[in-house]
Structure 1
């Protein structure tokens, strides 16, 4: 069990577990998960951390798109955000890059989920390690993440 699955069980949130053999040479973790699990890429979401230089925040976007920093800052009611450094993200979340789950992080961070997630019955996010995703309802994802909201933060 990972901190993500422990958190979901503690909150009695239904989820599915999906393991696959992670290729250590692959750095596009989300697309690898979609491909190896046979999932629609638009339903698989990546967890990114951003910073306004004072605090860190979580942004969850489909693996098919990129994070729009201006829209993310607006959704968080901030002037500007930047991508967090990988070491900064790992230290804050307690997970390693490529396995950062939005659920069960060491520090609960304010979270923004791309609005496209709401079109699906189930979305897939990292389960807390490379080669492991969890599937759950978007509203359940929002409820288990700190102060989560949905906003249009992704771009093609």
Structure 2
């Protein structure tokens, strides 16, 4: 597995400190984020999943703990919209340049609005997908928020 991805390059370019962690990705897992947390031996609240959504029909990204679900109305409100829905997997892959299960908020093809669950900012370090299935990046969530220009909000159901 290559540890150089558009996500790692984007973080290196921004000067953010991070470490790379690999695990055995299970394509048959019911919940990919929870499988990642278990595989690396971390609390699911610290292993954040990256989801792509449409807010008022426009692409957006939301980052939240892997053991939580996104509340679409809260996501829409956080990003100044009226409604939100999950993006179809094929559309998410086209929009980001990453495969589902390996979507990172860093280094996406186009800059889109990003919301991060505010509770995640309470942790010293979190894990966020590194742009490849089985690749997690450990970093300060406040650095992630700053680099992404993410809005911190309560976005979980």
Bin for the TM-score computed over the shorter chain:
over 0.9
**Structure 2 residue 41 is matched with structure 1 residue 38:** yes
Q: When the two structures are superposed, what TM-score results if normalisation uses the length of structure 1?
A: 0.95
Task: Provide the residue aligned with 1:152 in structure 2.
Answer: 154
Match of 1:29 among 24, 29, 32: 32
Deviations 1:72-91 (A, max 9, x none): 01101111111111111100
Q: How many residues align?
A: 154
Q: Which runs of 5+ in 1 are unaligned?
A: none
* Distance in 1 separating the partners of 2:106 and 2:28: 25
* Distance in 2 separating the partners of 1:70 and 1:53: 11
**Structure 2 residue 14 is matched with structure 1 residue 7:** no
Q: When the two structures are superposed, what TM-score results if normalisation uses the length of structure 2?
A: 0.94
Please provide the CA RMSD for this pair.
1.0
Instruction: Give structure 1 regions of 4+ aligned residues with deviation exceeding 4 angstroms.
Output: none
**Shift of residue 53, structure 1, vs aligned partner:** 4.8
The 8 Å contact of residues 26 and 32 in structure 2, kept in 1 or not, is answered as no
**Shift of residue 23, structure 1, vs aligned partner:** 2.2
The 8 Å contact of residues 27 and 98 in structure 1, kept in 2 or not, is answered as no
Moved more, 20-29 or 89-98: 20-29
Task: Provide the residue aligned with 1:59 in structure 2.
Answer: 62
Mapping of 1:76-155 within 5 angstroms?
76-145=79-148, 147-155=149-157
* Distance in 1 separating the partners of 2:19 and 2:43: 16
